[in-house]
């Protein structure tokens, strides 16, 4: 380099930057004594996955306002610092890093996807900041580290319950298992279903597979019809599930249908139409449940946003109330370690999705709602 790096202009700029930075650093120190409970939030708010992230943000903001209206926690209001991950792993890592080190939040809610949690969870864990997913259902979230939690029910818990309760009700003994074998979600759902069916003593008389993006399932269904099972068990994304079901009904397969989480979408009902009637699905959320908390949540959400809260909104809503409970138990709005231990100790928390506990391994434990589609809406089985 020919010249000195420190030209007069650069020197002034350097000092300005130092000044501004020190002002930022000083902020948290000055107000440390009685601070609001600062909760970081990382969600997919733009892009493809914003369909999941936006209801989550709306529910969190509603929960924050409801908590603050009734006096906050420990006399302090809850403050949300919301970051957009765009559904991207790097976006989630950056957001968590910023929340943990610059905003110095007490704990973090999010990110939206399991894949993002696998990337960003370790970052939070290293900074000893509790991070809790409100929509992560994959296997192995809890194993990331002691500071990583989730309140969303894993598939391995919901599907066996769906099989057990539907069998009680329908008393079937044979089943056909249909699933798309080229996406992780459907395949792992099918494996869980298979184990659950065998455990309940149900005989699987036909197993047929297809690919996600297939549209014609009639060859497989004609074969299933010949095996004549008591029920059809389907593990697929909503699009394939709905098309398959429509073709099944057209081909005269009138058996009851049990589905995985792909059935848990208003889109499923709209594509399947009348073929979706009677389908049974396990869900963490049932907006029609008769409980004052559910009614209040659904009414206020609808008033504020004009739509019915979905499963993502409901789990996010319960997530912030769980955090508030943990702050109350910990007795501090700033002690990160006390917060972690308090959260892990929560048992029998009464939320909108049901009675929630963390088990001894810190995994969520609660009863799933088993729903059935009747006249185009989900009702309890």
Partner 1 sequence: MPLQQLVNAITLGSTYSLVALGYTLIFGTLGIVNMAHGDVFMAAAFAGLFLVNVLGFNIWVALVGAMVAGALLGLILEYAALRPMRRRPDISRLSSLISTIGFGILLQNIFLTYLGPESRTFDHSFQSSAWSLGPITVTPSDLMIITVSLVIMVGLHLGLNRTKVGKALRAVSENPEASSLLGVNAQSINLVAVALASAIGGAAGMLVGIAFAVHPIMGLPYGLKGLSIIVLGGMGSVPGAMIGGLILGLIEVMTVQFLASSWRDAAAFALLFVLLVVRPGGLFGQPYSRGRA
Residues that bind partner 1 (CB under 8 A): 48, 181, 208-211, 213-216, 218-220, 222-223, 225-226, 239, 242-243, 246, 249-252, 267, 270-271, 273-275
What is the closest distance, in whole angstroms, from the C-beta atom of residue 138 to partner 1 in the complex? 21
How far does CA 158 lie from the centroid of its chain? 13
Nearer to partner 1, 210 or 339 (CB): 210
Nearer to partner 1, 86 or 239 (CB): 239
What is the closest distance, in whole angstroms, from the C-beta atom of residue 287 to partner 1 in the complex? 21
What is the closest distance, in whole angstroms, from the C-beta atom of residue 152 to partner 1 in the complex? 23
Both structure tokens of 187: 């395949």
Q: Of 318, 363, 320, 336, whose CA–CA distance to 78 is shortest?
A: 320
Nearer to partner 1, 251 or 329 (CB): 251
What is the closest distance, in whole angstroms, from the C-beta atom of residue 182 to partner 1 in the complex? 9
Could you give the C-alpha distances from 139 to 76, 142, 156, 196, 290, in angstroms and in order? 36, 8, 8, 17, 31
What is the closest distance, in whole angstroms, from the C-beta atom of residue 221 to partner 1 in the complex? 9
Nearer to partner 1, 178 or 258 (CB): 178
The helix/strand/coil state of 372 is strand
Q: Of 318, 2, 344, whose CA–CA distance to 152 is shortest?
A: 318
Give yes or no for a cis peptide into 111 (omega within 30° of 0).
yes
Both structure tokens of 317: 């809503």
Nearer to partner 1, 170 or 227 (CB): 227
Pairing of strands 354-358, 231-235: unpaired
What is the closest distance, in whole angstroms, from the C-beta atom of residue 194 to partner 1 in the complex? 15
Nearer to partner 1, 216 or 350 (CB): 216
Strands (DSSP E) found in 148-193:
148-150, 174-180
> Are 83 and 99 a contacting pair, CB within 8 Å?
yes
Q: Would you call 330 exposed, middle or buried from its count of C-beta atoms within 10 A (0-12, 13-18, 19+)?
A: buried
What is the closest distance, in whole angstroms, from the C-beta atom of residue 246 to partner 1 in the complex? 7
What is the closest distance, in whole angstroms, from the C-beta atom of residue 288 to partner 1 in the complex? 24
Residue 341's contacts (CB-CB under 8 Å, 6 or more residues apart) are 330
What is the closest distance, in whole angstroms, from the C-beta atom of residue 204 to partner 1 in the complex? 14
Could you give the C-alpha distances from 308 to 41, 298, 300, in angstroms and in order? 22, 7, 10
What gap in Å lies between CA 56 and CA 308, rounded to an integer? 13
What gap in Å lies between CA 363 and CA 38, rounded to an integer? 24
Both structure tokens of 250: 């057209």
What is the closest distance, in whole angstroms, from the C-beta atom of residue 285 to partner 1 in the complex? 21
Could you give the C-alpha distances from 71 to 57, 75, 263, 315, in angstroms and in order? 21, 6, 39, 23
Nearer to partner 1, 307 or 357 (CB): 307
> Are 203 and 175 a contacting pair, CB within 8 Å?
yes
Nearer to partner 1, 42 or 243 (CB): 243
Nearer to partner 1, 133 or 276 (CB): 276
Nearer to partner 1, 267 or 363 (CB): 267
């Amino acid at each position: 380099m020919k010249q000195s790096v420190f030209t007069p202009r650069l020197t002034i700029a350097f000092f300005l930057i130092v000044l501004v930075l020190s002002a930022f650093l000083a902020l948290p120190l000055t107000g440390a004594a009685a601070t609001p409970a600062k909760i970081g939030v990382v969600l997919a708010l733009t892009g493809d996955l914003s369909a999941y992230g936006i209801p989550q943000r709306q529910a969190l903001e509603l929960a924050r306002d409801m908590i603050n209206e009734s006096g906050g926690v420990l006399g302090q209001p809850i403050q949300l610092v919301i970051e957009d991950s765009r559904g991207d792993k790097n976006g989630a890592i950056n957001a968590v890093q910023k929340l943990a080190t610059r905003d110095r939040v007490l704990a973090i809610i999010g990110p939206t996807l399991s894949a993002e949690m696998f990337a960003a969870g370790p970052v939070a864990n290293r900074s000893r900041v509790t991070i809790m997913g409100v929509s992560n259902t994959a296997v192995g979230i809890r194993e990331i580290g002691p500071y990583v939690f989730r309140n969303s029910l894993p598939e391995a818990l919901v599907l066996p319950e769906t099989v057990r309760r539907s069998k009680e009700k329908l008393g079937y003994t044979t089943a056909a298992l249909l699933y798309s074998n080229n996406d992780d979600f459907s395949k792992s759902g099918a494996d869980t279903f298979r184990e659950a069916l065998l455990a309940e003593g149900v005989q699987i008389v036909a197993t047929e597979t297809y690919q996600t993006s297939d549209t014609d399932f009639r060859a497989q269904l004609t074969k299933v019809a010949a095996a004549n099972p008591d029920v059809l068990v389907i593990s697929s994304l909503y699009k394939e599930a709905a098309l398959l079901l429509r073709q099944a009904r057209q081909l005269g397969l009138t058996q009851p249908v049990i589905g995985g989480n792909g059935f848990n979408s208003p889109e499923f009902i709209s594509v399947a139409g009348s073929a979706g009637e009677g389908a049974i699905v396990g869900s963490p959320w049932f907006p029609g449940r008769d409980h004052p908390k559910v009614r209040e949540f659904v009414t206020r959400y609808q008033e504020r946003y004009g739509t019915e809260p979905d499963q993502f909104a409901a789990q996010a809503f319960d997530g912030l109330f769980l955090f508030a409970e943990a702050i109350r138990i910990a007795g501090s709005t700033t002690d990160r370690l006390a917060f972690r231990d308090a959260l892990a100790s929560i048992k029998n928390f009464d939320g909108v999705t049901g009675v929630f506990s963390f088990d001894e391994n810190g995994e969520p434990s609660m009863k799933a709602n088993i729903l059935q589609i009747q006249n185009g809406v989900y009702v309890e089985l």
